[in-house]
Amino acid sequence: MLFRVILAPDDIRRLHLEILPARVEELMIILQQELGLEGLLVVQFEDPAFGNELCNLTNMSDLPEERATLKVFQKQTSEPSFDSQISDTSLDIASLPSALSGSSTPVCDRPWPDPFIVPKFSSDVELRLKHGNDAYHKDGSLLSDVSNDVPKELKSDILDKLAEDMYAFKTHPTSAECGLVAKSLIDKYPCLMERGSSCGWYGWKYRLVFKMGNFRQKLRIAGSLELSVNSKQPASGKKRKRQKARKSEVNFLHDFPQGKSSTTLEEERCALESEMKKI
């Protein structure tokens, strides 16, 4: 679908989306990624039912077919950023991935892989994908052919596992990096390919972008120090830049290892310093 996006009177851009997202929230993330926008957005569209007057976009089905004009601007408010406004129903702590229920929070301490290695999913997901691949190689059928989309529970399991593995490499992967992960997923499981997309994984890319925002919010609620200090808009409502790792740093602010605290780590540092002085 083709969009004419108005950011300012002197800043009007053209944006083409091969796959239209199902939710307005997902469209906002795509606009942030593609147009370099930040913060909470308000999206309006020219409504043909009212002589192309602007109306707030609340449902993707309200958009006209093939092409539409959008007006996008930042909402000046002290409300939390988009990451913290993800529906509470999707932030059930009991449903956190295994990385949160284990001994420690996953740590981003490895370089981004190229190509990205798709992780092994749960046994039932792997079995369904195996049958899907067999059918694809036999007659070219896709999992989305039956109900016009991949089953919701299967899609959720896949995205949860991918987000967990992506976080182990990078807290805030870029849109391009999410695209590489989506491409690797389709290369390994072509039965997940999307019809109507030139590359076959365009929708998966933006589902991953949205899922990573959801995943970071879960970790923030669970007590991740780095994600708490790097929230786009703190509780005070004052905007601040995200604290990035410097050269030779892995993360800006690590969580303490299991059973450690600032006091115990300082004691270990002092002990090491004393030992070095003996040399």
Domains of the chain: 2-77 (3.10.20.90), 83-229 (no CATH)
Identity of the residue numbered 125 = V
| Nearest-angstrom CA–CA distance, 198 and 200 | 6
C-alpha span between 150 and 193 (Å, rounded): 9
Query: Is it true that the peptide bond before 64 is cis, omega within 30 degrees of 0?
Result: no
Give pLDDT tens digits along the chain (279 positions).
889 999 888 888 888 887 777 788 888 888 877 877 776 788 889 988 888 888 898 888 888 888 889 998 876 544 444 444 444 334 443 444 443 334 344 455 567 787 888 999 999 999 999 999 999 899 988 887 766 678 888 999 999 999 999 988 888 888 888 989 999 999 999 999 887 777 888 889 888 988 888 888 888 777 776 666 555 555 555 555 555 555 544 555 566 677 777 788 888 888 888 888 886
Distance CA 209, CA 179 (A): 9
pLDDT at residue 247, as a whole number: 53
Residue 47 main-chain phi, psi, to 5 deg: -90, 115
Angle between helices 202-222 and 152-167 (to 10 degrees): 60
pTM of this prediction exceeds 0.75: no
